[in-house]
Amino acid sequence: MFTKIPLQTPPNETLVNITDQVNAAVQASGVKEGVCFLFVPHTTAGLTVNSAIDPNTSLDILSELRRLVPTRVDFHHTFDTPADAAGHIKSTLVGVSVMLMVSEGKLLLGSSQSVLFCEFDGPRAREVWVRVIADLS
């Protein structure tokens, strides 16, 4: 069984801190020790773990991804828009899943780490799927 975290993202590209929502899902699962698997079922979004303490960190990550994969009109994939094509590539670079340890009923993260949902083609109604698995030992 898995749960879903619904998100409504703003226009354009953004990183959304979803750590509290993921911790709530972990707590609701009742699992004290295990792993939490997160998956994004979207082709122009992703997940990463990084700092959310300084908002400029997210700006730097997005700025560098834009530099690496600028929106341009010469993509082969232009089914929707060139921005959509760039979003597909950014999603592939960032990835659509993360697995984290669960300890004492919450995510085991470093002191400055957060779970960040990466939106590359907003605004959109999005979901993050959460599966919490208990240790068998």
At 112 the pLDDT is 95
What average pLDDT does range 70-78 have in this prediction? Answer: 65
| Confidence band of 68 (pLDDT split at 50, 70, 90) | very high
At 84 the pLDDT is 76
Amino acid at 76: H
At 80 the pLDDT is 56
For 29-60, give one letter per residue: b (16+ CB within 10 A) or e. Answer: bebeebbbebbbebebbbbebbbbeeeebbee
Which domains occur in the chain, in start order? 3-134 (2.60.120.460)
| Confidence band of 50 (pLDDT split at 50, 70, 90) | very high
